[in-house]
């Protein structure tokens, strides 16, 4: 008699736990998405297949969903926020203009779905799978940073979804044989090349360069490309030293730098370490003629370190002072598309009450390129949009955009040029950024540290 209740109890517990576990699985299977904007255009009628056919007599509105994850928490929080803001501004602009128009009169109203990836690759993969399979997004934008974008690219490719990567410059990501991933940023291997050219132009007597970098994929790949380039230009790379992510005390590295007495310091990694390194170089009065750091200097908040920011050079994918315009496009024999630089900057300032950085521009441009590809394809069918992206070659407020169609590097950015900014003081002793390289784009001459 005792056996039966025991077995029933066991069965009951097993079932209860099983159901509990399934129920527990539900919240993550159907979380509250965080649509950043909810345009009131998508109707159930408009979503029906009939409404999507060109035969539909009256112009209709249909929603398209663009999914991505953002690093609302974790190490990549700041640039990721800027990137999302840029994308948000694009969405606002398109919504205000009545959507993306197809030739049959259909207006595609974009909607965004995003989640916090905590700056973690395992979260990125789970969330991109969810965006594709549960949220049924039509297109994907990458998260910020090369590592996270690479994790997302694997999932996107596995599901045959088109993804525009922005905030991800790592070369190797685009050398994995992906067919549906398109890179908007100029690859990392080009990040410090211009800084070396600038040094050559500015101070022909300079001979020694110290490369100090954050030991993570993006910055390592940048300096690995910069080192041979510097040598090819006749420089002696006197220091090639990595520091761990999260480093806050650069004193041992600065001592090494001082010991090698370089003419220029180049490298860094991301925003927090780059800012700290610049500050400590200033505090320790390191005597070099040029300092070029990755990622941090183009961010407007870099000025918060005060005088330490002066003379610091940074490679940037885009700056508010760039001169891309319909005329420039015409001169380059390229088609022009989209918003002007001036309208983007003023629109961004009005919407977010801050100056856009290149991460913001990258976010906007990701949406814009997708919009152009959809318009030219006259469809949201992935195969057609992909074919259009493959042959895209144009200029926008963000600059030139063209993707590689080589099998080995398919989707890699081949046309976008970087600019280099330097923090300089104006006549009122106020810090601001100037574009100092390349010569064709510069708004001021570069200055050597005194």
Compute the distance between CA of residue 418 and CA of residue 365 in angstroms, rounded to an integer: 15
Contact between 259 and other proteins per CB under 8 A:
no
Contact between 287 and other proteins per CB under 8 A:
no
Contact between 182 and other proteins per CB under 8 A:
no
Contact between 33 and other proteins per CB under 8 A:
yes
Of 8, 29, 38, 259, the one binding other proteins by CB under 8 A: 29
Of 1, 2, 4, 6, the one binding other proteins by CB under 8 A: 6
- Count of positions on this chain that bind other proteins (CB under 8 A): 56
Beta bridge pairs of residue 394 = 401
Give the DSSP H or E segment for 387: helix 382-391
Min. distance of Cβ 4 from other proteins in angstroms? 13
Segment contacting other proteins by CB under 8 A, of 31-39, 200-208, 228-236, 436-444: 31-39
Segment contacting other proteins by CB under 8 A, of 5-13, 199-207, 288-296, 427-435: 5-13
**Which residues have C-beta within 8 Å of that of residue 344, sequence separation ≥ 6?**
89, 356, 361, 364, 397
Beta bridge pairs of residue 130 = none
Beta bridge pairs of residue 214 = 243
Dihedral (Cα; 382, 387, 391, 392), 10-degree rounding:
-20
Q: DSSP class of residue 248?
A: -
Residue matched to tokens 């180049």: 266
Among 66, 32, 31, 219, which Cα is nearest to 140's? 66
Comparing CB distances to other proteins, the nearer of 39 and 245 is 245
Q: DSSP class of residue 102?
A: P
Q: What is the DSSP string of 258-315?
A: HHH--SEEEEE-SHHHHHHHHHHHHHTT---SEEEESSTTTSGGGGGGGGGGTTEEEE
**Which residues have C-beta within 8 Å of that of residue 90, sequence separation ≥ 6?**
363, 364, 366, 367, 368, 371
Cis peptide before 286, with omega less than 30 degrees from 0?
Answer: no
Compute the distance between CA of residue 284 and CA of residue 250 in angstroms, rounded to an integer: 10
Contact between 372 and other proteins per CB under 8 A:
no
Of 207, 215, 233, 330, the one binding other proteins by CB under 8 A: 215
Compute the distance between CA of residue 409 and CA of residue 185 in angstroms, rounded to an integer: 14
CA distances from 394 to 80, 329, 391 (A): 26, 8, 10
Q: How many residues does the chain have?
A: 450
Min. distance of Cβ 74 from other proteins in angstroms? 10
Of 79, 86, 110, 242, the one binding other proteins by CB under 8 A: 242
Of 63, 81, 82, 120, the one binding other proteins by CB under 8 A: 120
Contact between 37 and other proteins per CB under 8 A:
no
Residue 281 · residue 308 · CB < 8 Å: yes
Of 8, 18, 261, 383, the one binding other proteins by CB under 8 A: 18
Residue matched to tokens 């050219």: 197
Of 47, 51, 239, 245, the one binding other proteins by CB under 8 A: 245
Min. distance of Cβ 314 from other proteins in angstroms? 21
Segment contacting other proteins by CB under 8 A, of 26-34, 271-279, 281-289, 302-310: 26-34
Of 85, 111, 157, 299, the one binding other proteins by CB under 8 A: 157
Contact between 151 and other proteins per CB under 8 A:
yes
Comparing CB distances to other proteins, the nearer of 53 and 73 is 73
Segment contacting other proteins by CB under 8 A, of 7-15, 233-241, 367-375, 377-385: 7-15
Q: DSSP class of residue 190?
A: G
Contact between 147 and other proteins per CB under 8 A:
yes
Contact between 118 and other proteins per CB under 8 A:
yes
Give the contact letters, 73-112, x = binds to other proteins (CB under 8 A), - = no. Answer: x---------------------------------------
Min. distance of Cβ 407 from other proteins in angstroms? 10
Contact between 248 and other proteins per CB under 8 A:
no
Contact between 427 and other proteins per CB under 8 A:
no
Contact between 21 and other proteins per CB under 8 A:
yes
Tell me phi and psi for residue 395, to 5 degrees: -120, 140
Percentages helix, strand, coil for the chain (3-state, rounded to 5) are 40, 20, 40
Contact between 67 and other proteins per CB under 8 A:
no
The site for other proteins (CB under 8 A) is made up of 6-7, 9-10, 13-14, 17-18, 21-22, 24-25, 27-29, 31-34, 72-73, 115-116, 118, 120-123, 125-126, 129-130, 132-134, 147, 150-151, 154, 157-159, 172-173, 176-178, 215-217, 220-221, 224, 242, 244-245
């Amino acid at each position: 008699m005792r056996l039966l209740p025991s077995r029933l109890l066991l069965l009951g517990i097993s079932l209860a736990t099983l159901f509990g576990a399934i129920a527990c699985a539900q919240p993550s299977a159907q979380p509250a998405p965080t649509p950043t904007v909810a345009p009131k255009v998508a109707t159930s009628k408009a979503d029906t297949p009939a409404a999507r056919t060109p035969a539909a007599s009256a112009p209709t509105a249909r929603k398209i969903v663009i999914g991505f994850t953002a690093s609302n928490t974790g190490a990549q929080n700041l640039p990721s926020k800027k990137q999302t803001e840029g994308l948000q501004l694009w969405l606002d602009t398109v919504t205000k203009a009545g959507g993306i128009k197809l030739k049959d009169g259909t207006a595609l109203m974009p909607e965004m779905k995003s989640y916090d990836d905590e700056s973690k690759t395992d979260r990125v993969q789970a969330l991109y799978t969810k965006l594709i399979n549960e949220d049924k997004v039509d297109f994907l934008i990458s998260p910020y940073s090369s590592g996270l974008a690479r994790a997302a690219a694997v999932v996107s490719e596995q599901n045959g979804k088109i993804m525009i990567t922005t905030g991800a410059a790592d070369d190797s990501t685009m050398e994995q044989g992906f067919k549906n991933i398109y890179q908007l940023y100029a690859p990392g291997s080009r990040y410090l090349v211009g800084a070396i050219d600038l040094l050559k132009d500015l101070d022909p007597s300079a001979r020694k360069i110290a490369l100090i970098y954050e030991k993570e994929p993006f910055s390592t790949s940048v300096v690995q490309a910069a080192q041979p380039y510097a040598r090819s230009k006749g420089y002696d790379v006197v220091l090639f030293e990595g520091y761990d992510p999260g480093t806050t005390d650069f004193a041992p590295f600065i001592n090494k730098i001082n010991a090698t007495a370089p003419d220029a310091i180049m490298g860094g990694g991301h925003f927090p370490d780059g800012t700290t390194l610049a500050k400590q170089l200033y505090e320790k009065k390191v005597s070099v003629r040029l300092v070029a750091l990755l990622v941090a200097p183009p961010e407007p908040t870099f000025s918060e370190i005060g005088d330490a920011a002066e003379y610091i050079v940074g490679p940037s994918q885009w700056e508010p002072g760039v001169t891309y315009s319909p005329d420039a496009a015409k001169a380059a024999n390229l088609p022009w598309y989209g918003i002007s630089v001036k309208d983007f900057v003023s629109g961004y300032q009005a919407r977010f009450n801050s100056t856009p950085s290149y991460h913001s521009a990258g976010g906007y441009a990701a949406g814009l390129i997708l919009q152009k590809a959809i318009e030219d394809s006259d469809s949201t069918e992935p195969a057609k949009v992909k074919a259009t992206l493959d042959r895209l070659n144009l200029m926008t407020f963000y600059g030139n955009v063209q993707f590689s169609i080589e099998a080995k590097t398919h989707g890699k950015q081949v046309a976008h040029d970087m600019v280099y900014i330097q923090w300089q003081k104006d006549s009122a002793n106020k810090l601001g950024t100037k574009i100092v390289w390349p010569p064709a784009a510069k708004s001021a001459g570069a200055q050597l540290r005194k």
